[in-house]
Chain A
Amino acid sequence: MNISLTPSQTVGPFFNFCLTAGKNCVSTIAGPEAKGERVHLTCRVFDGDGLPLDDAMIEIWQADAAGKYKHPDDPRAGTADPACSGFGRMGTRRDGSCEFETIKPGRVPGPHNSLQAPHLNLAVFGRGLLKQLYTRVYFFGDAGNQEDPVLNLVPKNRRETLMALLSSDGRWRFDIHLQGETETVFFDV
């Protein structure tokens, strides 16, 4: 490392005519032809007063159903599912929510021959966020969660903040609390 980094600044409140306008707004991470279990995901973002953020942006990056990333640094990228782009980006609405259509990713290799549990990598941007916040979305009840090397770095009593929950209408829900008793775990990446 010999050159100094460019500092981060907030995305501000007025990004949506650029970052989430038209085709730049990406709700479909994996199309209908993609292999794997369909996931309809609703994310919501709340501040320390429990108020929804209507001016946040969420980006998601994920592996395909076989746990492969569509990226040259994943040696298995050549056989990754072409119907799963892996990337989504949405602005939040007045109630702090946005939706993604995707599939449940497979298990991605982790350190020391481990396998990570299925997860989505998620970044939150917004007014008042001087740099994006990174978290992960795991799927409540997945058998892999117990042995996930990243979940095991998180204090037990906070792990549930990283769990998407399946609601009775078949949608997965993931609430992000920037502060408060149920503050979501954010990662230093």
Chain B
Amino acid sequence: MQLKNGSKAVITPYHRPQPGSQPDSLYEPYKSTIRRAPSQPLVFLPHTLSEITGPLYAGSELAETDNDLTRQHPGEPLGERIIVSGRVLDDNGRPVPHTLIEIWQANAAGRYAHAGDQHPAPLDPNFTGAGRTLTDENGAYQFVTIKPGAYPWLNHYNAWRPAHIHLSIFGRAFITRLVTQMYFPGDPLFALDPIFQSIPDEKARQRLVSRFDLETTRPQWGLGYKFDIVLRGPQATPFEGIA
């Protein structure tokens, strides 16, 4: 590609997701997908500058307690304190440094600080359930929070979501953007949850389950869970132009 000033831009396209690694848009057991999933095939888009660039967050606006959800109010929230940490990598195994991770979750009783949540479980005045942090130069991140409770929803009779923390990650490009959910090991609700089950490949599904970690567990204080996140990465060889 020839730019106006005569320099050549090198476009490095990103890898496409492996088959089965991502849910399809339509998964009928998750009822909300039925009238919201596109019915027409997606149009394949070769990557241009528009796709391989994206917002980069400076981090200057982050406050000290943004990654500690137990210290955002005058008192301590109720529930089991946990430390969630891990790394953000690309699919080449390279760390994704200085990228924004946002999390949100229900409180220990399974209730969100959201007006639309009608679950008759108590709100906790000392817990909002929203956090943000930037990965460090090695792609590492950490949050301190409390373990969220399971909660009911209206998808089907007696439907309950397994305990989970929502995560939003930017990565380097607009197409590396990922919104996902982290689960806890051994949850009896996995087999019954259409959102978890929407991922076709069993191994891919298991990548959303965090692992208990003794090393980051703080004695007399709280349990550690590890959760690594893998975003799409650039193809190995940059080449000029596209397709």
Which residues from chain A sit less than 8 Å from chain B, CB to CB?
1-19, 21, 23-24, 47-49, 51, 53, 55, 59, 61, 63, 69-76, 85-87, 108-113, 116, 119, 121, 123, 125-134, 136, 149-150, 153-154, 158, 178-179, 183-189
Are B9 and A130 in touch, CB under 8 angstroms?
Answer: no
Are A112 and B241 in touch, CB under 8 angstroms?
Answer: yes
In the complex, which residue of chain B has the Cβ closest to the Cβ of A105?
B50
Roughly how many angstroms separate A122 CA and B199 CA in the complex, as a whole number? Answer: 24
* B220 → A minimal CB distance (Å): 30
- Asked if B109 lies at the interface with its beta carbon under 8 angstroms from chain A, I say no
- Which one of B28-36, B74-82, B139-147, B211-219 contacts A? B28-36
- Asked if B1 lies at the interface with its beta carbon under 8 angstroms from chain A, I say yes
- Asked if B49 lies at the interface with its beta carbon under 8 angstroms from chain A, I say yes
Roughly how many angstroms separate A172 CA and B82 CA in the complex, as a whole number? Answer: 47
Roughly how many angstroms separate A171 CA and B168 CA in the complex, as a whole number? Answer: 31
- Hey, which chain A residues are within 8 Å of B49, CB to CB? 63, 69, 73-74, 108-109
Are B21 and A14 in touch, CB under 8 angstroms?
Answer: no
* B201 → A minimal CB distance (Å): 8
* B32 → A minimal CB distance (Å): 3
- Asked if B191 lies at the interface with its beta carbon under 8 angstroms from chain A, I say no
Task: Please tell me which one of the listed residues B27, B39, B104, B233 contacts residue A130 in the complex, with CB atoms under 8 A apart.
Answer: B27
Are A11 and B179 in touch, CB under 8 angstroms?
Answer: yes
- Hey, which chain B residues are within 8 Å of A7, CB to CB? 21-23, 180, 199, 204-205, 207-208
Are B130 and A21 in touch, CB under 8 angstroms?
Answer: yes
Roughly how many angstroms separate A18 CA and B143 CA in the complex, as a whole number? Answer: 15
* A131 → B minimal CB distance (Å): 6
Q: How large is the interface on B (under 10, 10 to 19, 20 to 34, 35 or more residues)?
A: 35 or more
* B209 → A minimal CB distance (Å): 11
- Hey, which chain B residues are within 8 Å of A116, CB to CB? 48, 50
Roughly how many angstroms separate A14 CA and B106 CA in the complex, as a whole number? Answer: 9
- Asked if B177 lies at the interface with its beta carbon under 8 angstroms from chain A, I say yes
Roughly how many angstroms separate A101 CA and B235 CA in the complex, as a whole number? Answer: 35
- Asked if B138 lies at the interface with its beta carbon under 8 angstroms from chain A, I say no
Are B231 and A4 in touch, CB under 8 angstroms?
Answer: no
Task: Please tell me which one of the listed residues B9, B53, B196, B231 contacts residue A61 in the complex, with CB atoms under 8 A apart.
Answer: B53
* B195 → A minimal CB distance (Å): 6
Say whether chain A's binding surface is mostly helix, strand, loop, or mixed: loop
Task: Please tell me which one of the listed residues A18, A63, A130, A184 contacts residue B130 in the complex, with CB atoms under 8 A apart.
Answer: A18
Roughly how many angstroms separate A189 CA and B90 CA in the complex, as a whole number? Answer: 16
Task: Please tell me which one of the listed residues B1, B36, B53, B168 contacts residue A48 in the complex, with CB atoms under 8 A apart.
Answer: B36
Are A189 and B51 in touch, CB under 8 angstroms?
Answer: yes
Roughly how many angstroms separate A74 CA and B9 CA in the complex, as a whole number? Answer: 7
6 A-B pairs in the complex with CB atoms less than 8 angstroms apart: A4-B91, A18-B104, A130-B37, A178-B36, A179-B35, A189-B175
Are B3 and A150 in touch, CB under 8 angstroms?
Answer: no
- Hey, which chain A residues are within 8 Å of B23, CB to CB? 7-9, 130-131
Are A125 and B179 in touch, CB under 8 angstroms?
Answer: yes
Roughly how many angstroms separate A114 CA and B55 CA in the complex, as a whole number? Answer: 24
- Hey, which chain A residues are within 8 Å of B5, CB to CB? 76
Knowing A4-B207, A121-B174 touch, does A108 contact B112 (C-beta < 8 A)? no
- Asked if B129 lies at the interface with its beta carbon under 8 angstroms from chain A, I say yes
- Hey, which chain B residues are within 8 Å of A13, CB to CB? 114, 116
